[in-house]
C-alpha cells in the first residue's frame, strides 16, 4: 500500500530494528528472573484456587512460604511437581496442605527432574486444554454469529457490583457495543493478590476476580447470541498481578486485556524490574490464548503534551510491538494504544490528530490499534464534550482504527451512566456509518500540514529509539523520557517480589505456550 503520508520506509525500518534491540536486551534481564506473581500464575494454571481461612488466596500462601524460606529461585513448579510425585496428590490438595501446615516442602524426598516434569504433565495438559477449548469457542462464535464492523465500539462499565455491571453491559450490547470492559476498582493494580469470588463492592470499578470474569463472560455470550454478534470482554492484566490475571482471562475467555509494563511503571509506580518480568509471562499467555493486548501509550498524553510528545507514543508502540514479538504474539493481537488528546483550542489540532492516527495505521498495518478518546480536555461541559467525541470518532473511522474506546460526554464528571453510554454509541455509530469509506477517498497534499506532521513524529520517534538503545530502557525511564514521569530502577512497588532464578528453575508453561502446544 502506498503511504498517503509519504513516510520514509527506511526510517520505519530503522526505528523498528532499534526497538527490537531494546526489547532483546531487556529480555536478557527478564529471562534471568522470576517474580512472586509469575509463580502464583503457574499455580493457578496448575489448578490451584480458593483461599485459606483468613481469605488469603492459596497461590499467595504457597509462594510467600517459598519466598520467606528463600526457595523461590527454584520455581514453585519444582516443589509442586516433587510433592505430586511423593504424595500422589493434586496441586490444589498440596497447596491446601501447605496452608494448613500439614506439609513442609523441605520434608519431601528429592525427586529427579524428569519425574517432576512427569508429575506435572497431566495438570499442565488439562490447563492448556481448558484454554484451547475457550479459544475454539471464540472462533466458533466468530464463525457462526460473527462480529461488529471495525472500529469496534468499546465501552466500559464500572459500577463496583458485578451483577449491576451485567445489567449495564447487556444494555450496552443491545445499544450496539462490540467490546465491554469492566473497569477495576481503584488501586487493585497495587494489590499483590487477586481477590476471590464474586464481588459487589468496589470504588470506581469492580474487582477483577476469576468468578467475576466468569459471570460477565456468560452474560455477554447470552447478550451476543440475542443480538447476533460476538461480544468481546476486556479487563486488566496489569499491576502487581499482571500474569495471574492473564491466566484467569485465558481460562475464562476474555478477548482483550490491557497489558503494559511501562504504564504500570509510570502511572502506578510499580517497580520496573518486577513488572517487566511479569509482563513477559502475561504476554506469553495472552499470545497463546488469542487475547488482544492493549498497551497504554495513550496515557502518556494525559500528562505530557499530545502535540509535543507524540513521538514518545510512537517510540513506545515500537517497543511494545517488539516485546510482543518476543512473547510470540500475532500482529492482529497487538492492540497498540494511542489517543486523541490535543488541546481543542489548538489551531489545526484536528489535522494533527488525523495525521498521527493515519501514521499509526500505516506503520502498524495489521495491528488492532486501540484509539482512546479525549479525557484531558473534557471539562464537564457535556455539550461540548459530545462534539469533542464526535471529532475523535471521525478521525477513527477515517484512519481505520480497530478498537475505539468510546468517549463519554460526561468524562471528568463520573463513571458512565447508562444513558452516557447510549449517547456515546449513538454518536460513534452515526459517524462510522455516515463516513464509512472516507479514508479510501481522500489523499493528502504533498508536503502539506498532515504529511509533514506525520513525517516529523516518525523522525523524532526514530531518534528517541536510538537514544534509548544507547541508554537502555531502565535509564531512559529513570530520566523521565516517557510521559514526563521519572521512576528509579529500585523504586516503586513490588521489587521484593523479584527473584533471580537458579539453574534448576522451571516454568513448564512458557515453552509449551510459545510453541503453540495443543
Partner 1 sequence: MAQKKKEEKMVATSKVDLTQVKPYGDSLNDGMVETAFTLPVPHGEEANEAARILTKKMGLMEPNVVYSKDMGSGYTFFVVYGKCVHTVDFTNIKVTKVEVDVMSREECGAYWEMNIGRPVVIVGASTGTDAHTVGIDAIMNMKGFHGHFGLERYKGIEAINMGSQVPNEQLIEKAVSVKADAILVSQTVTQKDVHITNLTNLIELLEAEGLRDKMIVIAGGPRISHELAQELGYDAGFGPNSYAEDTASFVLTEMVKRKMV
For partner 1, the closer CB: 200 or 302: 302
Report whether 267 contacts 240 (CB < 8 A).
no
Binding partner 1 by CB under 8 A: which of 377, 432, 474, 509? Answer: 377
**Number of residues counted as binding partner 1 (CB under 8 A):** 29
What is the sign, positive or negative, of the torsion defined by CA atoms of 91, 97, 101, 104?
negative
User: CB neighbours (10 Å) of residue 145?
Assistant: 16
Instruction: Determine whether 122 is exposed, middle or buried from the number of CB atoms within 10 Å of its CB (0-12, 13-18, 19+).
Output: exposed
91 scored as a contact of partner 1 (CB under 8 A): no
The residues near 137 (Cβ < 8 Å, ≥ 6 apart) are: 253
Three-class DSSP category at 234: strand
Active site residue 298: yes
Residues in the chain: 518
Residue 142 lies near partner 1 (rule: CB under 8 A): no
Q: Give yes or no for a contact between 176 and 223, defined as CB atoms under 8 angstroms apart.
A: no
Report how far apart, in Å, the C-alpha atoms of 423 and of each of 80, 112, 155, 426, 427 are. 52, 62, 11, 5, 6
Strand ranges of the sheet holding 370-372, from the earlier edge strand across to the other edge: 334-335, 292-294, 256-258, 232-236, 179-182, 152-157, 403-405, 370-372, 337-339
| Contact set for partner 1, span 392-421 (CB under 8 A) | 412, 417-419
Contact between 186 and partner 1 per CB under 8 A: yes
Residue of 175, 333, 388, 399 that binds partner 1 (CB under 8 A): 175
Per the annotation, the verdict on 420 as an active-site residue is: no
Choices 110-118, 170-178, 239-247, 318-326 (CB under 8 A): range interacting with partner 1: 170-178
**Alpha-carbon gap, residue 301 to 306, rounded angstroms:** 5
Q: Is 203 or 430 the residue whose CB approaches partner 1 more closely?
A: 203
Which of these segments, 16-24, 70-78, 208-216, 369-377, binds partner 1 (CB under 8 A)? 369-377
To partner 1, the closest distance from the beta carbon of 517 in angstroms equals: 40
Minimum CB distance to partner 1 smaller for 472 or for 484:
484
Q: Does 376 bind partner 1 (CB under 8 A)?
A: yes
Q: Please tell me whether residue 20 binds partner 1 under the rule CB under 8 A.
A: no
One character per residue 254-283, x = contact with partner 1 (rule: CB under 8 A):
------------xx----------------
Residues 201-240 vs partner 1: string with x where CB under 8 A?
--xx------------------------------------
d(C-alpha 488, C-alpha 258), whole Å: 23
Considering the candidates 20, 170, 370, 481, report the single residue annotated as catalytic. 370
68 given a catalytic annotation: no
Using CB under 8 A as the binding rule, whether residue 340 contacts partner 1 is answered as no
Q: Could you tell me the smallest distance in angstroms from the CB atom of residue 486 to partner 1? A: 9
Contacts of 334 (CB under 8 A, 6+ apart): 292, 293, 295, 320, 321, 324, 364, 367, 368
493 pairs with which residues across the strands? 270
**Min CB(489)–partner 1 separation in Å:** 18
Name the residues that contact partner 1, by CB under 8 A: 167, 170-171, 173-175, 186-187, 190, 203-204, 266-267, 299, 302-303, 375-379, 412, 417-419, 422, 483-485
Give the residue numbers annotated as catalytic, written as ranges.
263, 298, 370
Amino acid at each position: 500500500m502506498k503511504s498517503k503520508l509519504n513516510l520514509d520506509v527506511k526510517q520505519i525500518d530503522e526505528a523498528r530494528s532499534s526497538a527490537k534491540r531494546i526489547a532483546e536486551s531487556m529480555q536478557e534481564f527478564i529471562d534471568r528472573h522470576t517474580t512472586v506473581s509469575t509463580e502464583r500464575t503457574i499455580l493457578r494454571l496448575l489448578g490451584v484456587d480458593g483461599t485459606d481461612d483468613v481469605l488469603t488466596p492459596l497461590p499467595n500462601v504457597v509462594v510467600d512460604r517459598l519466598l520467606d524460606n528463600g526457595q523461590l529461585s527454584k520455581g514453585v513448579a519444582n516443589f509442586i511437581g516433587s510433592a505430586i510425585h511423593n504424595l500422589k496428590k493434586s496441586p490444589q490438595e498440596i497447596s491446601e496442605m501447605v496452608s494448613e501446615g500439614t506439609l513442609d516442602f523441605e520434608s519431601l524426598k528429592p525427586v529427579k527432574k524428569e519425574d517432576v516434569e512427569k508429575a506435572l504433565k497431566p495438570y499442565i495438559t488439562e490447563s492448556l486444554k481448558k484454554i484451547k477449548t475457550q479459544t475454539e469457542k471464540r472462533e466458533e462464535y466468530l464463525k457462526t454469529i460473527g462480529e461488529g464492523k471495525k472500529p469496534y465500539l468499546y465501552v466500559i462499565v464500572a459500577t463496583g457490583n458485578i451483577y449491576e455491571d451485567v445489567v449495564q453491559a447487556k444494555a450496552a450490547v443491545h445499544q450496539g457495543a462490540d467490546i465491554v470492559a469492566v473497569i477495576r476498582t481503584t488501586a487493585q493494580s497495587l494489590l499483590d493478590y487477586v481477590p476471590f469470588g464474586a464481588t459487589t463492592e468496589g470504588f470506581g470499578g469492580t474487582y477483577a476476580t476469576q468468578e467475576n470474569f466468569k459471570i460477565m463472560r456468560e452474560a455477554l455470550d447470552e447478550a451476543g447470541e440475542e443480538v447476533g454478534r460476538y461480544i468481546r470482554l476486556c479487563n486488566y492484566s496489569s499491576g502487581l498481578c499482571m500474569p495471574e490475571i492473564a491466566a484467569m482471562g485465558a481460562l475464562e475467555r476474555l478477548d482483550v486485556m490491557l497489558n503494559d509494563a511501562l504504564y504500570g511503571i509510570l502511572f502506578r509506580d510499580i517497580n520496573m524490574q518486577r513488572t517487566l518480568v511479569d509482563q513477559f509471562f502475561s504476554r506469553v499467555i495472552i499470545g497463546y490464548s488469542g487475547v488482544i493486548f492493549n498497551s497504554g501509550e495513550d496515557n502518556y498524553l494525559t500528562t505530557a503534551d499530545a502535540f509535543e510528545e507524540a513521538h514518545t507514543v510512537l517510540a513506545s508502540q515500537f517497543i511494545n510491538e517488539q516485546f510482543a514479538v518476543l512473547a510470540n504474539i500475532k500482529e492482529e493481537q497487538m492492540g497498540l494504544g494511542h489517543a486523541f488528546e490535543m488541546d481543542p483550542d489548538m489551531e489545526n489540532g484536528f489535522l494533527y490528530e488525523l495525521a498521527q492516527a493515519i501514521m499509526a495505521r500505516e506503520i502498524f498495518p495489521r495491528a488492532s490499534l486501540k484509539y482512546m478518546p479525549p479525557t484531558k480536555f473534557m471539562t464537564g461541559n457535556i455539550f461540548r464534550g459530545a462534539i469533542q467525541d464526535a471529532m475523535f470518532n471521525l478521525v477513527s473511522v477515517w484512519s481505520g482504527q480497530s478498537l475505539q474506546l468510546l468517549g463519554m460526554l460526561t468524562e471528568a464528571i463520573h463513571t458512565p451512566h447508562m444513558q452516557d453510554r447510549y449517547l456515546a454509541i449513538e454518536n460513534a455509530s452515526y459517524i462510522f456509518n455516515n463516513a464509512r469509506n472516507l479514508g479510501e477517498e481522500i489523499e493528502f497534499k504533498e508536503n502539506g500540514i498532515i504529511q509533514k506532521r506525520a513525517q516529523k513524529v516518525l523522525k523524532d520517534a526514530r531518534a528517541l529509539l536510538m537514544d534509548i538503545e544507547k541508554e537502555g530502557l531502565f535509564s531512559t525511564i529513570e530520566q523521565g523520557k516517557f510521559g514526563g514521569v521519572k521512576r528509579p530502577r529500585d523504586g516503586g512497588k513490588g521489587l521484593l517480589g523479584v527473584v533471580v532464578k537458579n539453574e534448576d528453575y522451571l516454568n513448564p508453561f512458557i515453552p509449551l505456550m510459545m510453541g503453540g502446544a495443543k
